[in-house]
Amino acid sequence: MIKDLPPNVVKDIAIAVALESESVESKIWYVYLINLQNQPLENVLITSKGYGEKDGEQVKTSTLRHAFPVVDANSFKLVEPIDEQTFGLNNEYWLSYYIGREIFDKKFIFLPESIVDDNFIKLPIINKPGVMIR
């Protein structure tokens, strides 16, 4: 149960949506987990889903689950590709991981239309343009 988890604060961890490549026909986007800490993350679990309203109807995407045994210090992991058509939805990433014997957990939500050129930064460690939530 969530209420049974200790109130450990997630710091120096980010979820980012990066523009991988761009052509006249399309853009290719990927979601990354970025570990900005000086220690590795262990037993990392991420669930992702999209939800919201599109054309006046409620829409939900499938829930995807991803697991990584270790995410090294000051590194990143590719989580999944993301389709531009979902940028009008809430894109939620729920992250859980261990550092030693302590569990950490945080929900990251990219709000509708937040993944736009105006919000781009140069993503740390990945060195690509994109949008990041810490």
| φ and ψ at residue 83, rounded to 5 degrees | -90, 135
> What percent of the chain stands above pLDDT 90?
84
pLDDT, tens digit (0-9, with 9 covering 90-100), for 78-94: 999 999 999 999 999 99
Degrees to nearest 5, angle at CA 18 with 7 and 62: 65
Residue 65: what pLDDT?
98
In this model, does residue 7 exceed pLDDT 80? Answer: no
Task: Give the span between the Cα atoms of 28 and 84, in whole angstroms.
Answer: 8
pTM of structure: 0.92
Residues 6+ apart with CB under 8 A from 79: 15, 30, 31, 32, 33, 46, 48, 66, 93
Domains and CATH numbers, the chain: 2-133 (2.60.40)
